[in-house]
Amino acid sequence: MERLPLAAAAGRILAEPALAVLAVPPRDCAALDGFALRAADAAGAGPDRPARLPVVAGVLTAGRAPVPPLAPGQAVRIMTGAPLPAGADAVI
């Protein structure tokens, strides 16, 4: 095993797993722009049977103050990096 400064370790293979001491980011965040919703509310949706959910709370962006929890049957527009509101477990 060889010890290297981080800058010199690019392209190398670790001898053991690297573990983070805390979660980064510290909460679930949107990986892409879309609509945050409860996956169960869109279960079974498809081209012939769309899920229609009212969009609430404007647009969630990274750094915006927390919003009220998302109720069943609702969706909210969300941008990349924004924290998912409580109750949401999917972004489409």
Q: What is the CATH number of the domain that holds 83?
A: 2.170.190.11
88: exposed, middle or buried (Cβ count in 10 Å: 0-12, 13-18, 19+): buried
In a domain, 12, yes or no: no
Query: Does the bond joining 25 to the residue before it have cis omega, within 30 degrees of 0?
Result: yes
In a domain, 48, yes or no: yes
Rg (CA), the chain: 19
Q: Measured between alpha carbons, how far is 83 from 36 in angstroms, rounded to an integer? A: 10
For residue range 24-74, what is the model confidence (pLDDT) as tens digits?
Answer: 888 899 999 999 999 999 999 999 999 999 999 689 999 887 788 999 999
For residue range 66-87, what is the model confidence (pLDDT) as tens digits?
Answer: 788 999 999 999 999 999 999 9
In a domain, 85, yes or no: yes
In a domain, 80, yes or no: yes
| Residue 18, pLDDT score | 86
In a domain, 23, yes or no: no
In a domain, 11, yes or no: no
In a domain, 7, yes or no: no
In a domain, 39, yes or no: yes
The residue range of the domain holding 47 is: 28-92
Split into its structural domains, the chain has a count of: 1
